[in-house]
Amino acid sequence: MSHNPNDIAAQEMAQRLQHPETLNLLDVREVMEYHTYNIGGLNIPLGKLPAALEDLEWEKHEEIIVICKAGLRSKTAQSILQQNGYLHVRNLTGGILALQKLK
């Protein structure tokens, strides 16, 4: 299986969440989903992302990990960020569901 450097697997994500590094997490699920279960990060629902781009405080060269429930909305969000000049956007493959399966 070829590994896309723009993706981050649940396994790697879980390992990184255990370290004290600060991750730039962008959760693009709906607010209700976010409040039901989340791993932290900034919650901007996908539909609101284009309008919220100018308010993001991350630098264009920083790593941003985009997450959603299953990895589809975050893939779209990844494209939006890339089209707006963000260079290091990674999509959590399988989303929150994949992370929860590891537990």
What pLDDT does 51 receive? 97
Nearest partner of 45 among 69, 28, 24, 68, judged by Cα:
28
Q: For residue range 34-75, list pLDDT tens digits in order.
A: 999 999 999 999 999 999 999 999 999 999 999 999 999 999
Q: What is the pTM assigned to this prediction?
A: 0.92
Residue pair 57/26 in contact (Cβ under 8 Å)? The answer is no
pLDDT, position 46:
98
81-93 pLDDT tens trace: 999 999 999 999 9
For the chain, give every domain's residue range: 7-101
Question: What is the CATH number assigned to the segment(s) 7-101?
Answer: 3.40.250.10
